[in-house]
Amino acid sequence: MLLLHDTDAPGAEAMVKRVLQRVCEPVVLGDLTLTITSSIGIAIYPLDGENRDELIKNADTAMYQAKERGRFNYQFYQRQMNIDSLSHIKLDSAMRAALAQGDFLLRYQPQIDLESGRIIGAEALLRWHSKELGDISPGQFIPVAEETGFIIALGQWVLTEAVAQAARWQAAGIGLVVAINVSALQFQSSSFIDSVAAALSQAGLEPCRLELELTESILIHDINETLARLQALAQLGISLSIDDFGTGYSSLTYLKRFPVQKLKIDRSFVNGLPDDESDLAIARAIIQLGLALRLRVIAEGVETERQKDCLQDLGCHEYQGYFFAAALDSQDLEAMLGEENQNPQSGPGKV
Ligand code: C2E
Ligand code: CA
Ligand code: CA
């Protein structure tokens, strides 16, 4: 361990480069020549820790990261690393504590009807603000929750929370459909359909105001079992959409057989619009498919006006994305709806 006084990041970097070089100089032992390589992690006071133990722990984390990046390397500590290096078990218990403490919350991303320009729905997106670990994106914790099974409890919380919000909007006369993301494990759990029905009836929400976003990977499992579940959900009167359409297994048979109402064009295809020819071809094909099968089509990840215009020209029904707004808290979304009512022809929001 090295403790460097009166230095800064470039100073520390220069020093560890020298150390790495010196340590790897060959050592001759009799007729053997040995080389040792090392990996170094750097933590800087007070940014990366205010006391000895924290600094050592974080330098250690950074060192493991350096090793992972191919050894004989150095690495500055980054806050984010904590999450990557935390074992899944620890992350799982942090998630359980977070759920109990109320550290999860939902944000709502507006979904806009391309014809009228009005907000007609909102996708509920999960957020985790952890006091210890900082903001952790769902891309990081959802896969772990899926792996450990915690997604069932977390998904149940999302369902209850989003349905309660949708019911508040319903009571306020705000006509929004709230869409929630459903994980495979959650969808397959035996109590899922009952819990959707219970959430609706407890909150007094009209079923048509709830939409479930299902990925293709959920749908390909056991076709008959899946079909039965989807039919039971459709019977409740809620709507179903296929998320990230085109990125999964895309078996087209299920479109014919399953009671889904909407296809969601994945943002990876929206990205290159309108210039990228393959993206354009794929977006056009999905929209045509949707139109032919009488499904609604929504595009996600729309970031520019050109993308929006292109989708509109292709006949897409709805979109969501940073061009209009990122995911908002419920009050900000309500404010946006209020503005929209005062000025129906207004353009995209400023968020
Ligand atoms: P997703 O279902 O594809 O959700 C859309 C993601 O794109 C969200 O990321 C959203 O914030 C982001 N996004 C929205 N507009 C734009 C844009 O214009 N450009 C770009 N580059 N990105 C945009 P987020 O919130 O980080 O969620 C990531 C994924 O985590 C979601 O992908 C979804 O699969 C999962 N997830 C989020 N919330 C939940 C949840 O409550 N339950 C489950 N099971 N999964 C969730
Ligand atoms: Ca989604
Ligand atoms: Ca997506």
CA of 243 to the centre of ligand 2 (A): 5
CA of 237 to the centre of ligand 1 (A): 25
Q: Is the CB of 110 under 6 A from ligand 1?
A: no
CA of 95 to the centre of ligand 3 (A): 23
CA of 243 to the centre of ligand 1 (A): 10
β-bridge partners, 129: 135
CATH number for the segment(s) 89-342? 3.20.20.450
**Whose C-alpha lies nearest to ligand 1, atom 43?**
181
Closest CA to 162 of 103, 109, 115: 109
Percent of the chain exceeding pLDDT 70 equals: 95
Ligand nearest the Cα of residue 267 is: 3
CA of 235 to the centre of ligand 2 (A): 22
Amino acid 275: pLDDT: 96
Amino acid 344: pLDDT: 59
Alpha-carbon distance 183 to 215, whole Å?
Answer: 8
CA of 241 to the centre of ligand 2 (A): 9
Q: What angle do CA 230, 232, 238 make, to 5 degrees?
A: 75
Q: Is the CB of 125 under 6 A from ligand 1?
A: yes
CA of 164 to the centre of ligand 1 (A): 20
Alpha-carbon distance 336 to 331, whole Å?
Answer: 9
Q: Is the CB of 46 under 6 A from ligand 1?
A: no
Q: Is the CB of 322 under 6 A from ligand 1?
A: yes
Is the model's pLDDT at 349 over the cut of 50? no
Alpha-carbon distance 330 to 336, whole Å?
Answer: 10
pLDDT tens sequence across 305-331: 999 999 999 999 999 999 999 999 999
Q: Is the CB of 137 under 6 A from ligand 1?
A: yes
Segments of the chain assigned to CATH 3.30.70.270: 9-77
Amino acid 88: pLDDT: 76
Query: If you average pLDDT over each of 21-25, 159-163, 336-340, which comes out highest?
Result: 159-163
Average pLDDT rounded to a whole number, residues 280-287: 97
Q: Pick from 127, 181, 245, 304 the residue to mutate for probing ligand 1's pocket: most ligand atoms within 8 Å of its CB.
A: 181
Binning pLDDT at 50, 70 and 90, where does residue 85 land?
Answer: low
Average pLDDT rounded to a whole number, residues 35-42: 89
Ligand nearest the Cα of residue 213 is: 2
The string of DSSP codes covering 281-322 is HHHHHHHHHHHHTT-EEEE----SHHHHHHHHHHT--EE-BT
Ligand nearest the Cα of residue 143 is: 1
CA of 248 to the centre of ligand 2 (A): 14
Give the global pTM.
0.78
Which residues fall inside 5 Å of ion ligand 2, going by CB?
Answer: 181, 213, 243
Q: Is the CB of 311 under 6 A from ligand 1?
A: no
Cα-flanking dihedrals φ and ψ of residue 173, to 5°?
Answer: 75, 20
**Helical pair 88-101 and 151-171, crossing angle rounded to 10 deg:** 30
**Helical pair 151-171 and 192-203, crossing angle rounded to 10 deg:** 30
Q: Pick from 300, 307, 322, 351 the residue to mutate for probing ligand 1's pocket: most ligand atoms within 8 Å of its CB.
A: 300
Segments of the chain assigned to CATH 3.20.20.450: 89-342
Per-residue tokens: 52: 């000895």
Atom number, ligand 1, closest to the C-alpha of residue 264 = 3
Tell me which of 3.10.20.600, 3.30.70.270, 3.40.50.280, 3.30.1360.30 is the CATH number of domain 9-77: 3.30.70.270
